[in-house]
Amino acid sequence: MNNFTYVRATTVKDAVNRAVADQNAMFIGGGTNLVDLLKAFVKEPSQLIDISRLQMQKIEKMANGSLRLGALVTNTAVADHADIRRNYPILTRAILSGASQQIRNIATVGGNLLQKTRCPYYYDPAFPCNKRQPGTGCPAATGINRMHAILGASDQCVAVHPSDMCVALTALDAVVEVAGPQDKRQIPFVDFHRLPENTPQKDSNLAPGELITSVILPPLAFAKSGVYLKLRDRTSYSFALISVAAAVEIVDDKIKDVRLAMGGVAHKPWRATAAEKFLIGKSADISTFTQAANIALEAAQPLADNGYKVELTKRAIRRALTVSAQGGGIA
Ligand code: SF4
């Protein structure tokens, strides 16, 4: 691990000012991903700005019925919150399907959004990697790519975003609140993460110095029937091969509204907007869900080792939509 300085930020403004003054500084909250990256020499910040004592540790109800999750609320606290368990079961199930209880007890909302891909080449400085060091190449594109992207990749990077929680937040129309050197702003969740294109080193649309302060969950009545289905190599403590977050609202035997997002398929959580549009007004049956799954995967471009993800994701979409249409529960 390289030498770095450590400071404890006293306020959000203090944290942002310090990050603006030192562009090679990094914020640290729970540190569950960052410490691994430091130990592996993947990240070599000049300074760690400890934000863990800042006042961003509450879940608050807002006047319009939304919930505001402070950026430092732990994953465990989000998953266990009574309103979230009742009204946004997609989010509770997504969080509980990720990591271990010990990690969830310390990992934070903000940190979950900013965790790095688990592409093994990224974590091994013996290999080139465009995300770690732009312009060096992407060994995963022609190497071992069983876990990699089937949608939205570029010739620069084929990594996937590893978060379960972010797939749920994408489906739930969440909004990210950030504080920057000039002002605060809100970013719709679907616009928070990026596709790799020619800048795979950038995972999000945060500007330099910006700090995530909270995530807003808007009210969405039919999210109560939401489903999160994660498929992986083993049943615990494993990243998704693919995952699906789905919520369907049925009125008079027709689909009135729907949310559908996928994980483990792209550099960002993938909202299936074309499939959602197709589903509106249709009968909630297996034929409709099969067509929606085909639309969601229409643009898939699998690599040498991950063609299985296309059919696996289609089947997971059918299953998640079916269970949600029946009222929700464990898929
Ligand atoms: Fe690096 Fe992305 Fe290629 Fe993995 S997929 S080796 S993270 S550039």
Q: What is the DSSP string of 269-310?
A: -EE-HHHHHHHTTSB-SHHHHHHHHHHHTTT----SS-THHH
Local structure of 71: helix, strand or coil:
coil
Residue with the smallest CA separation from ligand 1 atom 3 is 138
> Measured from the CB, is residue 117 less than 6 Å from ligand 1?
yes
132 Cα nearest atom in ligand 1: 1
Q: In terms of Cα–Cα distance, which of 259, 242, 90 is closest to 173? A: 259
Q: In terms of Cα–Cα distance, which of 261, 263, 318, 268 is closest to 291? A: 318
User: What does the angle CA 150 – CA 216 – CA 289 come to, to the nearest 5 degrees?
Assistant: 40
137 Cα nearest atom in ligand 1: 8
> Measured from the CB, is residue 108 less than 6 Å from ligand 1?
no
Is the torsion defined by CA of 82, 87, 88, 90 positive or negative? positive
Return the pLDDT at 329: 86
Return the pLDDT at 330: 81
Residue with the smallest CA separation from ligand 1 atom 2 is 157
Is the torsion defined by CA of 91, 93, 98, 100 positive or negative? positive
Return the pLDDT at 331: 80
Return the pLDDT at 1: 66
Mutate to test the pocket of ligand 1, among 43, 121, 127, 154 (most ligand atoms within 8 A of CB): 121
CA distances from 70 to 110, 169, 176, 295, 317 (A): 8, 14, 10, 36, 31
Residue with the smallest CA separation from ligand 1 atom 1 is 129
Return the pLDDT at 273: 98
> Measured from the CB, is residue 175 less than 6 Å from ligand 1?
no
Asked if residues 301 and 187 have their Cβ atoms less than 8 Å apart, the reply is no
> Measured from the CB, is residue 157 less than 6 Å from ligand 1?
yes
> What are φ and ψ of residue 325, in 5° steps?
-65, -25
Q: What is the DSSP string of 208-225?
A: TT-EEEEEEE---GGGGG
> Measured from the CB, is residue 130 less than 6 Å from ligand 1?
yes
- In this prediction, the residues of the chain whose per-residue pLDDT falls under 50 are none
Tell me, in angstroms, the distance from the centre of ligand 1 to residue 139's CA.
7
Asked if residues 84 and 62 have their Cβ atoms less than 8 Å apart, the reply is no
> Measured from the CB, is residue 170 less than 6 Å from ligand 1?
no
Q: In terms of Cα–Cα distance, which of 182, 125, 194, 186 is closest to 157? A: 194
